[in-house]
Amino acid sequence: MNQILQKEKLNESVVKMVVSAPKIARKAKAGQFVIVMSHENSERIPLTIADADKEMGTVTIIYQIVGASTLLLDSLQVSDELFAFTGPLGKPSEIEGLKKVCVVGGGVGCAIAYPMAKALHAQGSEVCVITGFRNKQLVILEKEFQAVSDRFILMSDDGSAGRKGLVTEALDELLEQESFDEVIAIGPLPMMKYVCLCTKKHQTKTMVSMNPIMIDGTGMCGGCRLSVGGKMRFACVDGPDFDGHEVDFDEVINRLSAYHDFERHAYEKTCHLLNREG
Amino acid sequence: MPNMSLKKTEMPMQDEKRIYNIQEVTLGYTMEMAVQEADRCLHCKNAPCMQGCPVGVRIPDFIAKIKENNLEEAYHILKQTSALPAVCGRVCPQESQCEKHCVRAIKGESVAIGRLERFAADWANEHLTEKSTLPKKNGHKVGIIGAGPAGLTCAMDLAMLGYEVDVFEALHVAGGVLVYGIPEFRLPKSIVQKEIAGLKEMGVNIWTNTVIGKSETIDELFEEGYEALFIASGAGLPNFMGLEGENLKGVYSANEFLTRFNLMKAYEENASTPIFKGKHVVVVGGGNVAMDAARCAKRLTQGDVTIVYRRSMEELPARKEEVEHAMEEGINFCLLTNPVKIHGQEGGVKQIECVKMQLGEADESGRRRPEVIPESNFILEADCVIMAIGTSPNPLLAQTTEGLEVNRRGCLVIDENCMTSREGVFAGGDAVSGAATVILAMGAGKKAAAAMHAYIQGK
C-alpha cells in the first residue's frame, strides 16, 4: 500500500524517504505529521511531513537513525512497503498573514523547518533562515534553504561550516537590529528552549513544533501531553505547534527521557540483529 | 425437573500462578458443565432476562438448545442479534443486565447466562467451518467510522441487509477497545480477530490506518457515494485530574498503559514498544479500566499494585467478576481515598499523597457523594501511577466537520433516530454516551443500523 519510492542519505544518520501515499499527499499541510510503522510489530513513530506532492501522490519523510525503530525503518529499501503510514495528523501550522519571519532549524529539525520556510516563501513572506549543526558533515538541505529564503545563516558548533556558534547567537544579533512578525523554531528541545528565552527577551512571538512521545497520534493515549500556559495540552490533537513562550520545556525534556535505558538496549540489540542478517 | 441448585456452576480458571502469564484467566465450561448450568434455566414465558440485554439476545432459546446438545443452533440464535457473542460472553456486565432480571436470582444466584453464551460461541469458533451465506447486495453503500464494538455491530447488521459496508479505522488493527484496551487475559485477541474475520467474510471492508476527519472528511465521503455514515469513534481522550506531578515520568493514562501493554504487546520480552515496569503501582479509579490496568501492572513485575478509589466497595463500578479476580491476584484496594498530589524524585514518581474520604448525601446520580475528611492526608509509596478516571469523546471529527453538534462534554448529539445534526450522519457508542460498556456500544450500533436502513430505504 505505502511503497517506498525513493531513499536518500542526507548525512551519516539522516535519511530522506519518499513514500507513495496519495490520500495523505492530497491533504497534507506544513506542520502536520504521520505515524509510521515499518513492520507489523514495530513501534508507531510520529514523523513530521517534510514535503507532499499532490500530483505525484507522494509524501516525504526525513528521519534520523537514533534508536531501534528508526534503524528498522532504515532497513527497508526502495520498492519495499511500509506496514502502516497514517495521517496527516495534527493541526497545520498557521502561517497566513505573516509578512516577515525568521525560521530557526537545528539538526534534523531542519527537515521540518524547510517545508515551513518553503510555504512562507511561496506566500510571499520575507524569510530569514538560521540553521545550526554540530559540524560540516551533518549539514543538510543547505541549497534547498537558500532557494526559499531571503537571507540564510548557517551555524556550526565547531565552525567547520558557516559561522562558529549556536543558532541563538545569530538570532540574538538579528533581533537586536530588526523585528520580525514571528520566529518559528524547530529542533532539539534544548535548542527550542533557548531560542524561546532569547525571543522572549526581544518580545517576539515564537512558535515551536513539539514532537514528544506518542503512540496513536489521534488523542487516545495522552502520552504526548505537555503543559502550555499552565494547561495540559495534547501535542497530537492540539498541536504539534505551540506558542513557545508558554511551553514548559523542562517538563517535556524530562518526559522524553522516560525510556532512555530501554531505547539504548533495544538499539544495540537491533544493530546486532541487523548485522547478523545483513 | 430443572437443576435447582442455588449456585451457578463454577467455571474452571487458572490458579494463582496466572499473574506470571497473560493467558486467559477463566477457562470456560466443559460440555457437561454447560448442560448442567443450562438445566438451571426455567424458560420463563416472559423471559425477563431479555429485558436486560441491550441487543436483545433470545436468551431462553439459546440456553434450551444447549440443553438439547444442539450447540450449532444455540450459536445461530446468538448470532442473529449479537455480532460478537464470544466477546460479550466474556466482557458484558451480566450482573447488571440479563442476569439481574433472572428469576433464579430472587432466591440464590442467577443462571450463568454469560458463561453459557461464551461456551456456545467458543464451541462454534472451534467447530463450525461453514462460511456464512453472503447476503444479496442491495446496491447501497454506507461508511462506518471506527472499528470498535459499535462500528463492528452496525457493520454486521447492515451487511446482513445487503449493504456494501466500508469501515474506517485509525489504528493499524481493527477492534477498537477490544484490542487496545481489554487485556489478553480477559479477552484473547485471537477471539476478536476471529469475529472480525467473520465480518470480512460477509463482505465488510475494513480500512485500517485511516483517520476520517484528517485524510478524508465526512463531506468527501458523501461525495464518494456513501449514502449514510455512522460515527463510532469512541471516547478515546483520556481524562486527568490536574494534580501536581501528573506529568512526571511514570505517570500514565490508563489508555496509554493499556495500549502499550495490549495493542503494542509491551509484555513480550522482545517488544519494540517500551513500558515502565513499576514495583509499586497505584491505579486511580474504580471501573473496569482501572481493574484491567491494575492486573496488567501485576503481570509485568508481580510487584505491589493498589487501586485508589474515592467511594467504597459498594459503589465500585467495575464488573463484579473483575473485582474478585483482582483481589485473588493480590491487588490492594485503598477505598474512600483520593489522590491530591504526586511527589517526584529525579523526574520520576516517588510517592502519591492522598486524602481519606467519607460518603455524604446522594447526588443526582443516586450515588452518595464522596467528601474529603479534613487533615486526613497520607502517603502511598509509588514509582508508577496510572490514571483510570474516565475518557472523553475524541474531538477529531467534531473539529473537522462543519455543522456537527456536540454537547458541552464533547459528546455528539443525536436525535431519536440516532442521527446527528448533519443529515445522513448517524452516531452511537461512546462518541455519543461518553465512556460506557462494550455491550451498550453494540446496542447503539444495532439501533443505528436499523435507523440507517430506514433512512436509506425512505429516501
Beta-strand relationship, B384-387 and B280-284: parallel
3-state SS of A182-207 is EEEEECCHHHHHHHHHHHHHCCCCEE
What is the structure's pLDDT at B365?
A: 76
What is the structure's pLDDT at B130?
A: 60
What is the structure's pLDDT at A261?
A: 80
pLDDT tens-place string over residues A42-85: 999 999 999 999 999 999 999 999 888 899 999 999 999 999 99
CB contact under 8 A, B347 and A262: no
Average pLDDT, chain A: 92
CB contact under 8 A, B236 and A220: yes
Question: Which among A27, A225, A258 is the nearest to B214, CB-wise?
Answer: A27
Q: What string of DSSP letters covers B310-355?
A: SS-GGG--S-HHHHHHHHHTT-EEE-SEEEEEEEEETTEEEEEEEE
Share of chain A above pLDDT 90, in %: 79
Most B CBs within 10 Å, among A220, A225, A228, A247, to test the B interface? A220
The grid coordinates listed for A186 are 524547530
Q: How far apart are CA B150 and CA B448, in angstroms?
A: 9
Look at residue A46 and give its three-state secondary structure: strand
**pLDDT tens for each residue of chain B, 459 residues long:** 788 899 999 999 998 889 999 999 999 999 999 999 999 999 999 999 999 998 899 999 999 999 999 999 999 999 888 888 999 999 888 888 999 999 999 999 999 999 999 999 999 988 887 666 678 899 999 999 999 999 999 999 999 999 999 999 999 999 999 999 999 999 999 999 988 998 998 899 999 999 999 999 999 999 999 999 999 999 888 999 999 999 999 999 999 999 999 999 888 888 888 899 999 999 999 999 999 999 999 999 999 999 999 999 988 989 888 999 999 999 999 999 999 999 999 999 999 999 999 999 888 877 788 999 999 999 999 999 999 999 988 888 888 888 999 998 889 999 999 999 999 999 999 999 988 888 899 999 999 999 999 999 998
ipTM, two decimals: 0.91
CB contact under 8 A, A41 and B272: yes
What is the structure's pLDDT at A277?
A: 62
Q: Would you list which residues of chain A are within 8 Å, Cβ to Cβ, of chain B?
A: 23-24, 27, 37, 41-44, 68-69, 72, 83-89, 215-216, 218-223, 225-227, 232, 234, 237, 251, 254-255, 257-259, 262-263, 266
Q: Residue B59 is inside which H or E element, if any?
A: helix B59-67
Asked whether B320 and B100 are in contact (CB, 8 A), the reply is no
CB contact under 8 A, B172 and A86: yes
Asked whether A135 and A157 are in contact (CB, 8 A), the reply is yes
Pick the CATH number of B240-389 from 1.20.1260.10, 3.20.20.70, 3.40.1190.20, 3.50.50.60: 3.50.50.60
Domain with CATH 1.10.1060.10 in chain B: 16-127
Domain with CATH 3.50.50.60 in chain B: 141-236+392-458, 240-389
Question: Which among A84, A87, A262 is the nearest to B274, CB-wise?
Answer: A262
Which CATH fold would you assign to the domain B16-127?
Fumarate Reductase Iron-sulfur Protein; Chain B, domain 2 (1.10.1060)
Q: Which domains does chain A have, with CATH numbers?
A: 4-89 (2.40.30.10), 100-257 (3.40.50.80)
Residues A197-202, mean pLDDT to the nearest whole number: 95
What residues of chain B lie within 8 A of the CB of A216, using their CB?
170-171, 236, 259
List the beta bridge partners of residue A17.
A7, A61
Which CATH fold would you assign to the domain B141-236+392-458?
FAD/NAD(P)-binding domain (3.50.50)
Q: How far apart are CA A226 and CA A251, in angstroms?
A: 7
What is the structure's pLDDT at A35?
A: 95
What is the structure's pLDDT at B436?
A: 87
What is the structure's pLDDT at B27?
A: 94
CB contact under 8 A, B240 and A255: no
What residues of chain B lie within 8 A of the CB of A227, using their CB?
247
Q: What is the largest CA-CA distance in chain A?
A: 56
Q: How far apart are CA B35 and CA B65, in angstroms?
A: 10
CB contact under 8 A, B256 and A223: yes
Res A1 pLDDT > 80: no
Residue type, B224: E
Res A235 pLDDT > 70: yes
Which residue do the cell numbers 529542533 mark?
A187
